[in-house]
Amino acid sequence: MTHIYWESPKNVYSGAVKGAGIIINGTPGIGKSFFAVYLLYQARWHPSYISTTKCYVLDGDKYYSYNGTVSDVALEMKDRSLIWYIVDGKVLEHMRVFWNIVTILVCSPAREYYKELEKEGILMYMPLWDVDELEKGFYCTLGPSDNIELINRLFREQLGKKLTKE
């Protein structure tokens, strides 16, 4: 897997522990959504993890926990430094009340998605994968492959797209 998956969680969580919001963006299709799930997995092993974690699910403008809705969420947020909000995509307007908790936003490079959080946050960019990383990814998902030409072609196509957009 690309080195960003191994190195970034510690950088994300060290920034988050200091109370800064974190913005992770990059080229569409680079793996940001997968990375958000990986961050959730890594959070379980972070030293600040609290075993009595409560999870809330957003459904439109309603929030659900095991025992209630959004009013219950507001009452339970006494120590906001212990609350991390990981969102993939765009923070909805009615979620802006959560800016004072640790927000990790995984989004496209479109600045309108993260401009408010950028004022107090840290911006990280997921780089394009290199040929070796693509080859390892193919190997992990498809097994051994002699089709290095396909990997090289895909890499050249993606690199060409990036160069023509700049």
Same domain, 40 and 122: yes
Residue 73 lies in a domain: no
Answer whether 0.75 is exceeded by the pTM: no
pLDDT in tens, 27-48: 887 778 888 887 777 777 766 6
Same domain, 43 and 92: yes
Q: CB–CB of 102/119 below 8 Å?
A: no
Domain of residue 90: give its range: 3-53+79-127
Q: CB–CB of 50/19 below 8 Å?
A: no
Q: Is the pLDDT of residue 156 over 80?
A: no
| Distance separating alpha carbons of residues 22 and 15, to the nearest angstrom | 7
Overall number of domains in the chain: 2
pLDDT in tens, 88-129: 887 766 665 655 667 788 888 888 888 877 877 788 888 777
